[in-house]
A and B are shown apart, each in its own frame.
Chain A
Amino acid sequence: MTSYVSATEQDRREMLAAIGVESIDELFAGIPAALRLSGALALDRGLSEQEVYDELRALAARNTSTEEELSFLGAGMYDHYVPALIDSIILRSEFLTPYTPYQPEISQGGLQAMFEYQTAISELTGLPISNASVYEGPSAVGAAGYVAKLHNGRKRFVVSRGVHPHSRETLATLAHGWEMEVVEAPLSDGVTALPELGEDVSAVIVQQPNFLGAVEQLEPLASAAREAGALTICACDPLPLALLNPPGECGADIAVGEGQTLGNRLDFGGPSFGFFACTEELMRRMPGRIAGETRDVDGKRGFVLTLQTREQHIRRERATSNICTSQALNALAGVIYLSWLGRRGIVELAELMLQRTAYARERLAALEGVTLLHEQPVVREFAVELEAPVERVLHRCRERGVNPGYALGREYAEYPNGLLVAITERRTKAEIDLLADTLEAAIAAERSAVGARA
């Protein structure tokens, strides 16, 4: 058994004597006897460090990572390259092991990093205020919905069908508790159809680019929302924002999103971070930590957690959110990554994805048995429909070491054989060509199998 405890038998005797009790058991005498466990928990015995390593390595070996197959999976998390400097910084114990910076005098590193992060997110989204992170993407959409509820007290969310299914489901889970209704705005030719908005609409929620990869036209949606007195919430993907009109300049009141693509690894879905930016008007309803600049008593520049009267530890049941621990370390990775990309680099990265995605889209669309699901502009991801059962095609491709992407039919019954393909900067032309060849062969094999069965 591994133990991280230092107390020796001698220590324990001395400490018990100082307390004035005979045994450790006596310290637990306040727990009613009927509740105290008589035996040990039914857990496997503790192991040495190397045994634990071996077990965890054996479990890892039974997963197929993006290093072990050619993966075009995206749909919310993406296989981007994470530069080496990120680990070298975020694994420093000074960033890895402190608590939330409640004592600013000894937390300037974390607080300043939050301030820098907020500045970078504000730049990307075109909105003046960013918090220091929320949990992750879909729950950030839920958190934005709560701000809208607090802001105008209306009863209904209108959510585009192009918003990530996990975001829509998370919002619906939370909205039930708020006694609010979530209605869906359908897609037309791959983008959100301008919905009818009544006076009971609290917020209109869209995603940029949407789940099918299409770039949405945000302005008409945002101005329609504004006219109806509703907020516009835009869930966005931060890397395409290097090229796209920022939501804040398109009239969005809140921009949120999944931060995994900013220097965080896939980790089977987490931990990553969610970002949350909004207008000045909504600042005091925002959830989560916010770092602010100030001075110390000697006039030196410093940073503190600010606007804390929004928060649960001060305001309790009147807080604007219950969030406490969020994702500070992941957000730190985010700001380091954005600094590494830099002003020009982020555009170059996004343009590379744009070009390769366009190439892949054209290449796949030319295949027998593949059609584009929509022809809207895309940046890193696009949707196609196969004229063959998609799950079976995926299975055939994976047997050849290629994972072509996400089968849309799981969440979109209207596209039973839809396939969502993501092209990050990790995927080269040669790999895209291999995808095309593999997919073509798999579709052909599947169609002839169906033909043979018929």
Chain B
Amino acid sequence: MIGAADDQLTIFERSREGRRAFVAPALDVPERPLDELLPAHLRRAEPPKLPEVAEPEIVRHYNRLSKRNFDLDTGFYPLGSCTMKHNPKLHERVAALPGHAKLHPFQDPAHAQGALELMWRLQSALSEIAGLPHVSLQPSAGSHGELAGVLLTRAYHEDRGEHRTKVLTPDTAHGTNPATVTMAGYEVVKVGTDEQGNVDLDDLRSKTTDDVACLMLTNPSTVGLFEPGIEEIAKIMHGVGATLYYDGANLNAIMGICRPGDMGFDIVHFNLHKSFTQPHGGGGPGAGPIAVSDRIEPYLPRPQVVRRSASAGNGGGEHYYDLDYDRPKSIGRLRGFQGNYGVFVRSYAYIRSLGAEGLREVSEVAVLNANYLLALLREAGVAEYLPAAYDRICMHEFVLSGAPMKRELGIKTLDLAKRLLDHGVHPPTVYFPLIVDEALLIEPTETETKETLDHFAQIVAEILREAREDPEIARNAPYTTPVRRLDEATAARHPVVRQPL
């Protein structure tokens, strides 16, 4: 155990025998001997060593811990690919209504009509946004939606009596794509990127054989560019009978502008914690619904939320909402119950607030903000050291390369990121995508003001100016954070992942 000052103690180190917060309700039934109810050989020898702390100390402990976090409500968070947009406060209020928050997942559908209708309406809205007719809300996160999508692909091919073994992913893909392919039992085949940052169509053609099950594509891609050859890509994939999978991580760029279904995609996942404002929670919860074309629909996970015509005995309203388990070709379940309903409530509230016009404005301003910031950085003289990896109009995010900065100024992308911490902004995504040397992936989102973007550009220019004079400053940054650079190598070599008690 590492000796720690008071503000670094864990809740376990604050524990003192005899302290408590919880008081059990009074025992109101006749007490029976423990041995009679639970024989000794089934019981644990001693209770789990949970902390013994009174309520005031628990509250103070976690409030203090909270202050050692940087958060979106406090500062700029241009973390590329993560869509750190404002999380509307209304959403927490409506999600906490007892009719939503205290609804048991096995409640009879007749007594959960509001929840099922909300899910049905969310499915309809997501279907319209994706341009694909069917939606399952079940997956719990983007990567879970990906897994659903690749398993759907497998079910589709198997149902046609085909055994395909490969899935294509571009070399710009998020790590979740190739990891998902492996988890779904396929072999990953990597497709290259051309000099303009687009999928290399010749490489794609040469790898698209009839044992390819699917191409997983992010569009706009992870370098922040719309694939101009998307129609051709769809033609190539469909030409060999493969499916086209849309990774929705970057949907925030195109809502109401264009739709994956119209581009030829068969399967789309949404990240409700990105485009649809579910707060990220420091690493979840999220939700990863999927939208699919008619040919994929029979295989969707079960149960599906459906709307049936009302009949005598099932409600009396015009429609009756239900869970449909009778899906003989379904891939089955991917998790318990009906999905992350609390997330659905928030995302549905968001879509209702904005409507079609508002969603389109989101994407327009997200793209405007990104291009403005890119132009500003160019203007501020930053481009000399941090050039755009692909110097053209971008979508909602863009990639800079820190290679010249490393070469000319002797500071790496990591150093720049750490120095940004001292300026009170969250760094962009660093060292991703992998194909750009010393990459920085910057996504400002639509909810940031022009002044915030101006300020960020000034900070980056200032850090570069400072590095020209003394690169050591950035190399040793940060200085003002609760802790400074941490020894990650030792942490991985000799993992201490729980507290010895």
Shortest CB distance A365–B (Å):
14
Q: 14 pairs across A/B with beta carbons < 8 Å? A: A21-B393, A100-B283, A103-B70, A120-B48, A132-B283, A166-B337, A174-B147, A245-B43, A268-B342, A293-B1, A300-B483, A322-B147, A322-B183, A430-B28
Report whether B107 and A46 are in contact in the complex, using a CB–CB cutoff of 8 Å: no
Report whether A122 and B73 are in contact in the complex, using a CB–CB cutoff of 8 Å: no
Report whether B32 and A71 are in contact in the complex, using a CB–CB cutoff of 8 Å: no
Among B82, B94, B284, B450, chain A packs the most CB atoms within 10 A around the CB of B284
Complex interface residues of chain A between 1 and 59 (CB less than 8 A to chain B): 1-7, 11-12, 14-16, 18-21, 24, 26-32, 34-37, 40-47, 49, 52-53, 55-59
Report whether B341 and A270 are in contact in the complex, using a CB–CB cutoff of 8 Å: yes
Shortest CB distance A99–B (Å):
5
Compute how far the CA of A43 lies from the CA of B279 in the bound complex, rounded to whole angstroms: 23
Report whether A116 and B499 are in contact in the complex, using a CB–CB cutoff of 8 Å: yes
Question: B184 within 8 Å of A by Cβ?
Answer: yes
With contact pairs A65-B99, A76-B336 given, residues A173 and B331 touching in the complex (Cβ less than 8 Å): yes
Compute how far the CA of A102 lies from the CA of B430 in the bound complex, rounded to whole angstroms: 10
With contact pairs A119-B498, A170-B335, A306-B497 given, residues A56 and B143 touching in the complex (Cβ less than 8 Å): no
Contact with A along B265-300 (1 / 0, CB 8 A): 000000101000001111111110000000000000
Number of interface residues of A (CB under 8 A): 210
Report whether B179 and A316 are in contact in the complex, using a CB–CB cutoff of 8 Å: yes
Shortest CB distance A30–B (Å):
5
Report whether B352 and A47 are in contact in the complex, using a CB–CB cutoff of 8 Å: yes
- Residues of A contacting B15 in the complex (Cβ-Cβ under 8 angstroms): 343
Q: Which of A97, A244, A356 contacts B87 (CB 8 A)?
A: A97
Report whether A109 and B69 are in contact in the complex, using a CB–CB cutoff of 8 Å: yes
Compute how far the CA of A85 lies from the CA of B285 in the bound complex, rounded to whole angstroms: 20
Q: Given A99-B79, A268-B104, A273-B284, output 12 extra A-B contacts at Cβ < 8 Å.
A: A42-B128, A96-B71, A101-B69, A105-B482, A106-B68, A106-B478, A113-B282, A270-B285, A293-B2, A324-B175, A325-B280, A349-B22
With contact pairs A89-B63, A326-B283, A329-B284 given, residues A342 and B21 touching in the complex (Cβ less than 8 Å): yes
Report whether B62 and A336 are in contact in the complex, using a CB–CB cutoff of 8 Å: yes
Report whether A105 and B107 are in contact in the complex, using a CB–CB cutoff of 8 Å: no
With contact pairs A18-B376, A325-B284 given, residues A60 and B364 touching in the complex (Cβ less than 8 Å): no
Question: B312 within 8 Å of A by Cβ?
Answer: no
Shortest CB distance B85–A (Å):
7
Contact with A along B237-260 (1 / 0, CB 8 A): 000000000000000001111110
Contact with B along A251-277 (1 / 0, CB 8 A): 000000010000001111111010000
Q: Nearest 7 A-B pairs (CB), nearest first?
A: A60-B99, A269-B337, A46-B355, A329-B281, A269-B105, A62-B114, A271-B285
Report whether A311 and B492 are in contact in the complex, using a CB–CB cutoff of 8 Å: no
Compute how far the CA of A33 lies from the CA of B183 in the bound complex, rounded to whole angstroms: 37
Shortest CB distance A212–B (Å):
15
With contact pairs A173-B332, A318-B182 given, residues A16 and B94 touching in the complex (Cβ less than 8 Å): no
Compute how far the CA of A342 lies from the CA of B17 in the bound complex, rounded to whole angstroms: 10
Contact with B along A53-77 (1 / 0, CB 8 A): 1011111111111111101010111
Compute how far the CA of A106 lies from the CA of B68 in the bound complex, rounded to whole angstroms: 6
Shortest CB distance B281–A (Å):
3
- Residues of B contacting A307 in the complex (Cβ-Cβ under 8 angstroms): 492, 495, 497
Nearest-neighbor residue (CB-CB) of A346 within chain B: B50
Compute how far the CA of A358 lies from the CA of B129 in the bound complex, rounded to whole angstroms: 52
Report whether A355 and B32 are in contact in the complex, using a CB–CB cutoff of 8 Å: yes
Report whether B151 and A173 are in contact in the complex, using a CB–CB cutoff of 8 Å: yes
Contact with B along A310-333 (1 / 0, CB 8 A): 011111111101111111111010
Shortest CB distance A11–B (Å):
5
Q: Which of A76, A294, A344, A403 contacts B52 (CB 8 A)?
A: A344
Shortest CB distance B110–A (Å):
9
Report whether A215 and B38 are in contact in the complex, using a CB–CB cutoff of 8 Å: yes
- Residues of B contacting A308 in the complex (Cβ-Cβ under 8 angstroms): 492
Shortest CB distance A98–B (Å):
5
Nearest-neighbor residue (CB-CB) of A128 within chain B: B498
Question: B385 within 8 Å of A by Cβ?
Answer: no
Number of interface residues of B (CB under 8 A): 210
Q: Which of B12, B175, B280, B355 contacts A316 (CB 8 A)?
A: B175
Question: B115 within 8 Å of A by Cβ?
Answer: yes
- Residues of B contacting A285 in the complex (Cβ-Cβ under 8 angstroms): none
Report whether A65 and B103 are in contact in the complex, using a CB–CB cutoff of 8 Å: yes
Question: A379 within 8 Å of B by Cβ?
Answer: yes
- Residues of B contacting A71 in the complex (Cβ-Cβ under 8 angstroms): 104
Among B24, B41, B485, chain A packs the most CB atoms within 10 A around the CB of B24
Shortest CB distance A157–B (Å):
14
Report whether B257 and A36 are in contact in the complex, using a CB–CB cutoff of 8 Å: yes
With contact pairs A65-B98, A100-B283 given, residues A91 and B38 touching in the complex (Cβ less than 8 Å): no
Report whether A103 and B417 are in contact in the complex, using a CB–CB cutoff of 8 Å: yes
- Residues of B contacting A1 in the complex (Cβ-Cβ under 8 angstroms): 353-355, 357-358
Report whether A95 and B66 are in contact in the complex, using a CB–CB cutoff of 8 Å: yes
Question: B437 within 8 Å of A by Cβ?
Answer: no
Report whether B30 and A43 are in contact in the complex, using a CB–CB cutoff of 8 Å: no
Q: Which of B77, B345, B372 contacts A56 (CB 8 A)?
A: B345
Report whether A269 and B284 are in contact in the complex, using a CB–CB cutoff of 8 Å: no
Shortest CB distance A275–B (Å):
13
Question: A295 within 8 Å of B by Cβ?
Answer: yes
Nearest-neighbor residue (CB-CB) of B287 within chain A: A271
- Residues of B contacting A137 in the complex (Cβ-Cβ under 8 angstroms): 336
- Residues of A contacting B358 in the complex (Cβ-Cβ under 8 angstroms): 1-3, 46
Compute how far the CA of A228 lies from the CA of B282 in the bound complex, rounded to whole angstroms: 41
Question: A232 within 8 Å of B by Cβ?
Answer: no
Report whether A53 and B94 are in contact in the complex, using a CB–CB cutoff of 8 Å: yes
Q: Which of B65, B176, B481 contacts A322 (CB 8 A)?
A: B176
Compute how far the CA of A315 lies from the CA of B284 in the bound complex, rounded to whole angstroms: 21
Shortest CB distance A288–B (Å):
9
Question: B333 within 8 Å of A by Cβ?
Answer: yes
- Residues of B contacting A109 in the complex (Cβ-Cβ under 8 angstroms): 65-69
- Residues of A contacting B343 in the complex (Cβ-Cβ under 8 angstroms): 270-271
With contact pairs A11-B450, A119-B12, A271-B343 given, residues A105 and B183 touching in the complex (Cβ less than 8 Å): no
Shortest CB distance A82–B (Å):
9
Compute how far the CA of A19 lies from the CA of B375 in the bound complex, rounded to whole angstroms: 5
Compute how far the CA of A403 lies from the CA of B110 in the bound complex, rounded to whole angstroms: 13
- Residues of A contacting B95 in the complex (Cβ-Cβ under 8 angstroms): 267
Report whether A34 and B231 are in contact in the complex, using a CB–CB cutoff of 8 Å: yes
